[in-house]
Amino acid sequence: MVTDGFDPDPDTNADRDDLVPTAELSPDVAAMVSRGEQIRDWLINLIESYGHKRPREAAILARRLGLRGDPPETLEQIGAHYNLSRERIRQLQQRAVTQVARKARVTADPLFSLLNDVYQSVDTDEALAQILAMEALAHGEDCPAREMTAIKLAVAGYLSDDRRRLCDLTMKQLTALRRESRQQSRSPEQRATKRISRWLDTVDWPDPAEDDHRSPERPPTTAARQIDVDDEGRGVFYLDKVDRHVAYDSESELRFLRLLDASDLVTWFREQPCAVPYELHGYPRIYYPDVVVTLADGRVILVEVKPLFDLALHINQVKFAAARRYAHYRGWGWHIWTEGSIGIAELRSRPVDPVAEQQLSQLLAQRPARWGDIVQIQEQTGLTNLDLSTLVLRHGWRLDRTPFQLRAH
């Protein structure tokens, strides 16, 4: 059951082997990543506020942008949920964008101030499109770039015709950046095998003490869920190893599938292989992990491809736990692939400023934290979003995004 409103239910190095924390990136890239995360969080807060007046429209916009912790939904998927046509969902989404942007400007919201200062200071459309394309990469491939770009330009005060023109320029720039990334990711077999070997060391395998030494259950040969490949950021392409066209949900997933195809450690894989039941707030739900992989030695791994900044969200932690149980019951390993060397274990063990950790811990001992509380602590201590994810995982706190709330269990 899902309700309409914002309820709780809802290389850089040469080898491109690792995506490193913001603190280790070059200053320009670090600033872009940090701003991208800040924009996303402030936008969530704006949409949540709008949801008090128009919960269905706010929920539609959140679903379209993937702000609930789930992947972005297509217009068709949202329409099926509300029993409305694709065109009607598009109209409601546009009305929500207009109203959210107007609210940001009228109230002088921090998001309006930030975007207006950055975008209006750029001299040419081409330069602004380059900034927007880089921000789209920083938002992550799970975020639909055109929709996010359009709402940011609306918040910054750009008129409809200007938004369309700048969105078109941005998508051209983004396509070029992604094409370059794909070309670089088409690594030789030796390099792909090196990367696969690295993440195999971090796979969560079933406990040998509880294993009855059976062979792993044979993975399914058909997909449990069909990907809408006509939607932005999704697509289909042919891979030799499996001798078929393979669908992908994001650019990160595309790169992972190419690695699997290039490495001789992998003999077979299937995207969207299974439907994993789980429960959230007392309601049954279904989760579709991204890929199941069969290795040359016969072992099987269930894999989720997930951006680093989404690992700490409560809904994802619930999904991960359900998928881990599902995989281990079948004798499979479980792994969350973040496109780099940093996973949940590494994120949990990162050092964080003890002052920021103490302030947040003391606050949560008294009451749940809202977005404004986090902003205040960030301003006082320099706490980053990556730091926040680290603390959530380390202390077992619960982080919900829409509406934003952080609380101790």
| Residues 388, 307 share a domain | no
Please tell me the predicted confidence (pLDDT) of residue 312.
92
Q: What CATH number is associated with residue 325?
A: 3.40.1350.10
The DSSP secondary-structure symbol of 215 reads: P
Consecutive 10-residue runs of the chain (409 residues): their mean pLDDT? 34 36 46 70 84 89 82 85 90 92 88 86 89 78 80 90 92 83 58 81 85 77 82 78 88 88 92 95 93 95 90 94 96 89 84 93 94 89 89 94 85
Predicted confidence at residue 107, as pLDDT, reads 87
Question: Does any domain span residue 203?
Answer: yes
Max Cα–Cα distance, the chain, nearest Å = 66
Query: What three-state secondary structure class fits 262?
Result: helix
Q: What count of Cα atoms within 13 Å lies in the side-chain half-sphere of residue 275?
A: 8
Cβ atoms within 10 A of the Cβ of 230, count?
10
Within this chain, do residues 192 and 338 fall inside the same structural domain, yes or no? yes
Same domain, 209 and 137: no
Please report whether residue 8 resides in a domain: no
Cα separation, 10 vs 30, in Å, equals: 31
Reduced to 3 states (helix: H, G, I; strand: E, B; else coil), residue 244 is strand
If asked whether residues 245 and 256 sit together in one domain, one would say: yes
Given 182, 213, 228, the domain boundary residue is: 182
| Residue whose C-alpha is closest to residue 3's, from 56, 64, 49 | 56
Q: For residues 161 and 216, what is the distance between their CA atoms, to the nearest angstrom? A: 56
Eight-class DSSP state of 237: E
Edge-to-edge order in the sheet of strand 333-337: 266-271, 291-295, 300-305, 333-337
Give the closest residue to 350 by CA, choosing from 309, 389, 396.
Answer: 389
Indicate if 329 and 365 belong to the same structural domain. no
| Those residues with Cβ within 8 angstroms of residue 153's Cβ, 6 or more apart along the chain or in another chain | 119, 132, 162, 163, 166, 167
Of 277, 26, 290, nearest to 141 by C-alpha is 290
Q: What is the pLDDT of residue 323?
A: 97
Within 8 A by CB and 6+ apart from 327, the residues are 206, 301, 302, 333, 334
Provide the number of structural domains found in the chain.
3
Residues 336 and 394 in one domain: no
- Cα dihedral 90, 95, 97, 100 in deg (nearest 10): -150
Do 71 and 149 lie in a common domain?
yes
Domain termination residue (choose one: 326, 346, 366): 346
Same domain, residue pair 244 and 353: no
392 touches 404 (CB < 8 A): no
Q: What is the predicted pLDDT for the residue at 144?
A: 82
Q: Are residues 155 and 199 in the same domain?
A: no
- The residue out of 156, 182, 208 marking a domain boundary is 182
Residues 244 and 194 in one domain: yes
Q: Is the dihedral of CA 187, 16, 272, 177 positive or negative?
A: negative
Q: What share of residues in the chain are helix, strand, coil (percent, to 5)?
A: 50, 10, 35
Whether 3 is in a domain gets the answer no
What pLDDT is recorded for position 74? 85
The reply to whether 177 and 57 lie within a common domain is: yes
Q: Is 304 within a domain?
A: yes
Partner residues linked to 74 by β-bridges: none
**For residue 177, which amino acid is it?**
L
User: Is residue 51 assigned to a domain?
Assistant: yes
Q: What are phi and psi of 267, to 5 degrees?
A: -105, -25
**Is residue 202 domain-shared with residue 178, that is, in the same domain?**
no
Per DSSP, helices labelled H in 263-396 are 314-329, 344-348, 354-366, 371-381, 385-395
277 lies in a domain? yes
pLDDT at 328: 96
Domain span at residue 394 reads 349-407
Residue 2 lies in a domain: no
Residue 4 belongs to some domain of the structure: no
Q: Is 398 helix (H, G, I), strand (E, B) or coil?
A: strand
Per-residue pLDDT, 351: 92
What was the pLDDT predicted at 57? Answer: 92
